[in-house]
Amino acid sequence: MDSHTDDDSMRVGEVEPMPGYTGLVTRASTVMLSALRDCSACGLELSKRTLLDNAYITWTEIGLFFMCAVMWTQIRRGLTECLFKPFAQWCRLHPKDTAKMPESAWKLVFYTMSWSYSTYLLFFTNYTFFHDPPSVFYDWKSGMTVPTDIAVAYLIQGSFYGHSIYATVYMDDWRKDSTVMVVHHVVTLALITFSYAFRFHNIGLLVLFLHDINDIQLEFTKLNVYFKTRGGDYYLVHDILSNMGSVSFSITWFLFRLYWFPLKVLYATCVSSLQSVPNIPFYFFFNSLLLTLLCMNIYWFLFIVAFVAKVLTGQMKDVKDLREYEGEEGAQRAAALLKDQQRLQSEDAGHLNNSAEGKHVQNGITKEKHL
């Protein structure tokens, strides 16, 4: 009897090995198709009833969200006016870089703070979500109490993305993809809100940890791009750091978003969730959003690899703003092509105007044309 109990406790304490890509696709597709066949009552009415029965969020939490969103806006405005802008001007950055530098500096500060806190929760507390992803659904109950430390992480992240919607429109330097960024912030905020309301906060913490590190490296790289040419001088150290940052950015993107994210997060949500909670709410809704996020990560990874390859092979002389280089490069190419066409047309016109007289114009001097 005692031996059997010990065996059971050891089995419960065992950590399930992380699957490979083949195991993920095989198990996840099998489980999801089986769940879909068994869901005979799936539809709008069931979704409405599930939402009302399982979504829990208080007016106090909503009030804290708006208060913190305003707080982030004021903190950013204060740091920008009192620290970031004066520092950029003191460094004599290019006016265009002076306008963009405060945004990257602010995001670097925030993401470093938020990712450090997520790292602390996952590796320096009793939470085992990273090493044992299926544990995110152990003892899950509808409306369960969210631990204070995870609730703080959610409040920080949710209010930041609420602030970011306003900041992208009214505070950030407007870019060619700013509209897309607004949509991204709205979707991210919706995911954070719904995962909190349905008490999927454990897996949400793991998702935030796996994504925030890339934002740190992105903003670090952009800052070095801005600082490598300032005051009319060139600084090799920032050029080296920007190139190193772009390479490390692509490596960690693959490791965190294309390796650990699918093999830890998606396996837990697609397979382990139904093992722990057979009737877990909004199973297909959240997994569809996470699978969409994976597809976006793959798409952007291909873009990043192409960018890094251009830098390393010399097709691009240096690293530019990662969100703008393609548009600027295209504009420069179009302008150069237009200039060449105008030059050729001018030469053709000059040739036609002078051909009857056997003359041509070279360097502003009319010369005889000899056969």
Summarize pLDDT for 37-59 with one digit per residue, the tens. Answer: 877 667 677 677 777 777 889 99
Residue 192 counted as domain residue: yes
pLDDT at 370 (0 to 100): 36
Residue 314 counted as domain residue: yes
Query: What mean pLDDT value characterizes the chain?
Result: 81
Residue 298 counted as domain residue: yes
Average pLDDT on 145-170 reads 92
pLDDT at 104 (0 to 100): 93
Residue 363 counted as domain residue: no
Express as a percent the part of the chain with pLDDT over 70.
Answer: 79
Average pLDDT on 262-269 reads 94
Report in angstroms the alpha-carbon separations of 22 from 27, 28, 317. Answer: 8, 10, 40
Residue 332 counted as domain residue: no
pLDDT at 143 (0 to 100): 85
CA dist 209 and 116 (Å) reads 9
CA dist 124 and 144 (Å) reads 23
pLDDT exceeds 80 at position 274: yes
The residues, any chain, with a CB within 8 Å of residue 72's CB and separated by 6 or more, are 110, 159, 160, 163
Q: 75-126: per-residue pLDDT in tens? A: 999 999 999 999 999 999 988 889 889 999 999 999 999 999 999 999 999 9
What confidence category does residue 10 fall into, taking pLDDT thresholds of 50, 70 and 90?
A: very low
Average pLDDT on 17-26 reads 88
Domain count, the chain: 1
pLDDT at 159 (0 to 100): 95
CA dist 112 and 106 (Å) reads 10
Average pLDDT on 211-235 reads 92
What confidence category does residue 70 fall into, taking pLDDT thresholds of 50, 70 and 90?
A: very high
pLDDT exceeds 90 at position 178: no
pLDDT at 278 (0 to 100): 87
pLDDT at 3 (0 to 100): 40
Range scoring the smallest mean pLDDT among 30-39, 225-234, 304-313 = 304-313
Q: Which domain holds residue 116?
A: 55-318
pLDDT at 317 (0 to 100): 61
pLDDT exceeds 60 at position 365: no
Range scoring the smallest mean pLDDT among 10-14, 305-309, 319-323 = 10-14
Amino acid (1-letter code) at residue 273: S
CA dist 112 and 118 (Å) reads 10
Residue 313 counted as domain residue: yes
Residue 334 counted as domain residue: no
What confidence category does residue 320 fall into, taking pLDDT thresholds of 50, 70 and 90?
A: low
CA dist 132 and 16 (Å) reads 7
pLDDT exceeds 50 at position 360: no
Range scoring the smallest mean pLDDT among 167-171, 196-200, 357-361 = 357-361
Residue 32 counted as domain residue: no
Average pLDDT on 217-232 reads 91
Find the length of the chain.
371
Average pLDDT on 226-239 reads 90
DSSP tag of 145: P
The residues, any chain, with a CB within 8 Å of residue 328's CB and separated by 6 or more, are 320, 321
